[in-house]
Structure 1
Amino acid sequence: MRAKLIDLLKVIGPGFIMASVVLGPGSITVASRIGSEHGYSFLWVIVLAAVFMMVYASMGTRFGVVSEKSVLEVISLSYGRWFAVLIGLSTFLSTSSFQFGNNLGIGIGMQGITGIDERVWPLIFTPLALLLLFWAKNLYKVLEKLMMAIVMIMIVAFMVNLVLTKPNLVSVGMGFIPRAFSIGQVEVIVALMATSFALSAAIYQAYLAQDKGWKKEQLSRGLKDTFAGIAFLSTISAIIIITSATALKPRGIVVSSAADMAQQMDALFGGVSKIIFSLGLCAAAFSSLMVNAVIGGGLLSDSLGLGRSMNEKMPKIFTAIILLLGMFVAIFFRGNVIYALVMAQASSMMAVPAIAIGLLLVVNQRKLMGAHRNTLLQNAIAIIGLICITVMIYFMYQKLEQFFNVL
C-alpha cells in the first residue's frame, strides 16, 4: 500500500502545476463576484470549460509522452517559424496581462492582512519570484512542491466552508443546466470560462510531461493526474460560486473588495475570515505569479528557437520580463481593482485561438502521434471549444480595448 502511494506521488505534479497557474486571484475574484451577482446561474459554464480543458490538456500530455521535440519546435518545422512565433508571442502577451492580475491579487491580499498600501507588495513579491527563478537549482521540483501544497490547502478550506454554508442543493443543481444569456453577460462568461479553460497551461502540459520524464507506459497515469488537476480547478471555482451565492447574494453584497469576498468564509473562520481569505488570495496569486510567467517566457523563447527548459538562459530572461511587466503595471494602475482582476482574467483568453489551432494540428499528425493522435470525438469537442471561445473573444474585444486604454 505504501509503495503504491509513493508511486502515485511520483507521477503527480504537472496536473497540480497546471492547476496552480489557473487558480489565481482572478479566478477567485471572478467566481466570487459572479456568485454574489448572479447566484448559481452560471455554474454550467464551469462544466463546459472543464470539458474543453480536459480535451486540450490531454492533447498536450499525449504529445509530451510521444515526442522528443517540443510542441513549438514541431509546429515550426511543420508549418513555419511564423506560426510558432505567433503562438509564443500571443501567449507572452496574454500571460503578461494575467500577471498584472496576479500582482493586484497579491497587493489587495497583503493590504487586507497588514493595512499597507496594495501597490507596495508587488515590489516585494516580484523580486522573490526572480530569486526563485534565477537561483533555484531545480526550478521544476521547487514549483511542484510549492504548488501542490498551496492547491491542496485551498481545496480543503473551501470544501469545509461549503459544507458549513448549507446551500440549497436544488437551486445549485439548477445552476448546472445551461440557459440563455444576453450579449452583456459575455464578459462574465468569458472571465468564468478562463477560470478553468486556460490553453497556455494546456500546451505547457506537454513541456511538463517531458520535464517529468513521462513515457508512453506512464500515459494513463499521467492523464489521470492531468484530469485530477482540472477537476480540482473546476471544483474550487464551483465551490466559490456556490458559497458566494449562498453567503453574499441573499445579503445584497456585491463583491467590490477583498473584504467583500472574505465574508463568504465567515461560516468557517468567523471574525478572522478577512485575514484567512487574504492569506489564501496571496498564496493563489504568488503560485500563479511564478508559474504563469514561466509558461509565457518558456513558450516565447521556444518559439524563437532560443531554448525551452526552465533551467536555460533565454526562457528565464523572458520570464523575468513578464514578472517585471506585471509588477510595473500593477504599481501604476489606478482604478477599480476588482473589475481589473475580472478583465485581466478575461484577457488571458486572447491567446486561445492560436494555441488551439497549433495543438490540433500537431496531435492529428498520423506519423508523429500514431495511435495517440486525436479521435473523432476529441477533435469535435476541441473544435466546438475553439469556436465558442473565438466568438466570445470577438464580442469581448471592444471592452478589453477600452479597459487597456485607461491603464
Structure 2
Amino acid sequence: MSKDATEQTQLESPKKWKVIGPGLVVAATGVGAADMVATLAAGSRYGYTLLWAVVLGVILKIVLVEGAGRFTLATGKTIFEGWRSLGRWPVWYFGPYIMIWGFVYGASAMSSTALPLAALFPAVPLWAFAVATGIAGFLLVWFNRYAVFEKITAVLVGLMFLTIVSLAFLATPNIPEMAAGLIPRLPEGSVLYTLALAGGVGGTITLAAYGYWLREKGWTKPGWMRVMRLDNTMAYVMTGIFVISMLIVGAEVVRAAGVAIGAGDKGLLDLTDVLVAEYGDFVGKAFLVGFFAAAFSSVIGVWNGVSLMFADFWANMRGKGSEHPDAKLNGKYFRFYVLWLTFPPMLLLLLDQPIGLVLAYGVLGALFMPFLAITLLPLLNMARYGVPKEWRNRLHTNIALAVTAVLFVWLGVYQLVDAIRKAIGG
C-alpha cells in the first residue's frame, strides 16, 4: 500500500476527524456584521420566504471552498500559484485588489467591532474602541502561531453561535412558514436580498485563504482530502444555522416590532433596541457580545488569512516561490500586510473614507467572488494545471461552480452599481 493510501486509511478514523479546524476559521471569518444586517433585513421584510436562498448559498459555498482546498491538496500548490499559471490577468487583478481592499477593509472591520463595545460602554468614544480592536487583532496575529489563532477563533465562534442560535429559539420560529420558505420564490423587490443571501453571506476573499490555512494546519497531501471535505461541510452547515437564526430573528422579532432596520452595521444596534424592549437588558447585552464575537472573528481571520495570501503573492512576485520562509506565516511579507491592515486604515476613521477610494473598493471588491469561481473552473478541469484526474471536477461540481460564477457576477454587478450610486450621491 502506498504512503498516501495508508495515510488516507488512517485519516478515515473518526478520531482523526477531531482535528476539524480550518473550515471553521474560514466560515467564521466570512460572516461579518454586514452579512448579519442583510439577513436581518431580509427576514424583517419577507419573513421566511427567502430561506431557500440561504440553503442554496450554503451549498454553493461548500462547493467553492472545497474546490480551493482540493486544488491545494491535489497539487501541493497555493491558489495564487494556480492563478498565476492562468496567465498575467489574474496577477494584475489580484495585486491592486488586495492592497486597496485591505486598506478599506481594515477601517471597516475595526469600526464594526467597535460598535457593540461602544454600545456596551457608551462613555468611551467609538474611535477609541476601533483603534483598540485593530491593535488587539494585530497583537493576536503578530505574536501567535496558527494553532493559537485557531483556538481563539473557535472561542469567538462559540460565543457568536450560542448567542444568535439561543436568540432564535427565544424568538419561537414558525416551523410551517420555515418549511414553506424552502420552496424557491421571489417576492416583489426581493432580487437584491436574494442575491445577498445566496451569494454574499459568508463569502469574502477569505474563502480563497482556505488552502493557506490547510497548509498551516499541516494538511498538505491528497490523503487529507476526506477530512478537508468533512471540515468544510461541517463549517458551512454551522454557518447556515447561524444565518438561518438571524433570519428567524428578523422574521419573528423585528417584523413584529414594526421597526425599520438601518443600513450598514448600525442596523445591529437597531436590533439591540428592539431586543431590550422585547426581552430586557440582559438579552440586549448578550446580543451585543455575540455581535462583537462575530465582528472580531472577522478581524483576526482577515489579519491572518489575507496576510498569508499577500505573503505568497509578493514572494512569488519577487521570484522566491511559495515555499520560501518569506511566503509563510510570520515571514516579513506576512508582517508587512498585518501592519498594512492595522495602522494606515486608522486614517480612514478620521477621513470618513474618501469618495474615490470607496468607489475603487466597490469596483474591485464586488468582482472578487466571481473571479474565484471562474478561475477554479479551468484549474480543476484541465491536466495542464496539475490536478490529477482522480481529483478533477465531476459534472455536478462544474454545474455548481458555473451557477456560483453566474450568481456572483450578478451580485457583483448589483454591488458595483450600488457603490457607484452611493459614491456619486454621497
- Tell me the alpha carbon deviations over residues 7-45 of structure 1, each in whole angstroms, 9 at most, x when there is no partner: 333x21101111221122222222222222332222222
- Tell me the alpha carbon deviations over residues 317-354 of structure 1, each in whole angstroms, 9 at most, x when there is no partner: 1232123354433444399xxxx9xxx99985431122
Aligned to 2:8: none
| In 2: Cα distance, 1:323 partner to 1:177 partner | 44
Question: Do structure 1's residue 380 and structure 2's residue 399 form an aligned pair?
Answer: yes
1:361 to 372, 378, 393: 378
Q: What stretches of structure 1 of length at least 5 have no aligned partner?
A: none
Structure number with the bigger relative contact order (C-alpha 8 A, sep ≥ 6) is 1
Map of 1:7-406 to 2, 5 A cutoff? 7-9=16-18, 11-76=19-84, 78-94=85-101, 96-115=103-122, 116-136=124-144, 138=145, 140-181=146-187, 185-198=190-203, 200-214=205-219, 215-256=221-262, 257=266, 258-262=268-272, 270-304=280-314, 305=316, 307-333=326-352, 348-366=365-383, 368-370=386-388, 371-404=390-423
Residue 72 of structure 1 contacts residue 303 of structure 1 at CA under 8 Å; is this kept in 2? yes
| In 1: Cα distance, 2:277 partner to 2:16 partner | 37
Q: Which amino acid aligns with 1:403?
A: K
Scaled by the length of structure 2, what TM-score is found? 0.82
SS at 1:248's partner residue? helix
Q: Which amino acid aligns with 1:369?
A: V
Residue 38 of structure 1 contacts residue 245 of structure 1 at CA under 8 Å; is this kept in 2? yes
Larger Rg: 2
SS at 1:253's partner residue? coil
Q: Which amino acid aligns with 1:87?
A: F
Shift of residue 230, structure 1, vs aligned partner: 0.9
Q: Which amino acid aligns with 2:392?
A: R
- Cα distance change of structure 1 residues 334 and 351 upon mapping to structure 2, 3 Å threshold: closer
- Cα distance change of structure 1 residues 291 and 356 upon mapping to structure 2, 3 Å threshold: same
- Tell me the alpha carbon deviations over residues 102-139 of structure 1, each in whole angstroms, 9 at most, x when there is no partner: 22221211111100332221111112222223333x1x
- Cα distance change of structure 1 residues 89 and 302 upon mapping to structure 2, 3 Å threshold: farther
Residue 164 of structure 1 contacts residue 268 of structure 1 at CA under 8 Å; is this kept in 2? no
| In 1: Cα distance, 2:203 partner to 2:365 partner | 8
Residue 362 of structure 2 contacts residue 416 of structure 2 at CA under 8 Å; is this kept in 1? no
- Tell me the alpha carbon deviations over residues 344-379 of structure 1, each in whole angstroms, 9 at most, x when there is no partner: 999854311222222222222335221111111101
- Tell me the alpha carbon deviations over residues 272-318 of structure 1, each in whole angstroms, 9 at most, x when there is no partner: 22222222212211110121233333323423325542221112212
Residue 276 of structure 2 contacts residue 283 of structure 2 at CA under 8 Å; is this kept in 1? yes
Shift of residue 58, structure 1, vs aligned partner: 0.8
Residue 186 of structure 1 contacts residue 395 of structure 1 at CA under 8 Å; is this kept in 2? no
- Cα distance change of structure 1 residues 404 and 299 upon mapping to structure 2, 3 Å threshold: farther
Residue 66 of structure 2 contacts residue 232 of structure 2 at CA under 8 Å; is this kept in 1? yes
- Cα distance change of structure 1 residues 265 and 273 upon mapping to structure 2, 3 Å threshold: same
- Cα distance change of structure 1 residues 22 and 150 upon mapping to structure 2, 3 Å threshold: same
Aligned length: 392
SS at 1:398's partner residue? helix
Shift of residue 249, structure 1, vs aligned partner: 0.3
| In 1: Cα distance, 2:364 partner to 2:243 partner | 18
- Cα distance change of structure 1 residues 99 and 318 upon mapping to structure 2, 3 Å threshold: same
Shift of residue 47, structure 1, vs aligned partner: 1.3
Q: What stretches of structure 2 of length at least 5 have no aligned partner?
A: 1-12, 319-325
Q: Which amino acid aligns with 1:310?
A: L
Shift of residue 239, structure 1, vs aligned partner: 0.8
Deviates more, 1:388-397 or 1:292-301: 292-301
SS at 2:128's partner residue? coil
- Tell me the alpha carbon deviations over residues 232-288 of structure 1, each in whole angstroms, 9 at most, x when there is no partner: 112101111112210110120222344422256569973222222222212211110
SS at 2:393's partner residue? coil
Residue 263 of structure 1 contacts residue 273 of structure 1 at CA under 8 Å; is this kept in 2? no
| In 2: Cα distance, 1:296 partner to 1:14 partner | 14
- Cα distance change of structure 1 residues 38 and 180 upon mapping to structure 2, 3 Å threshold: closer
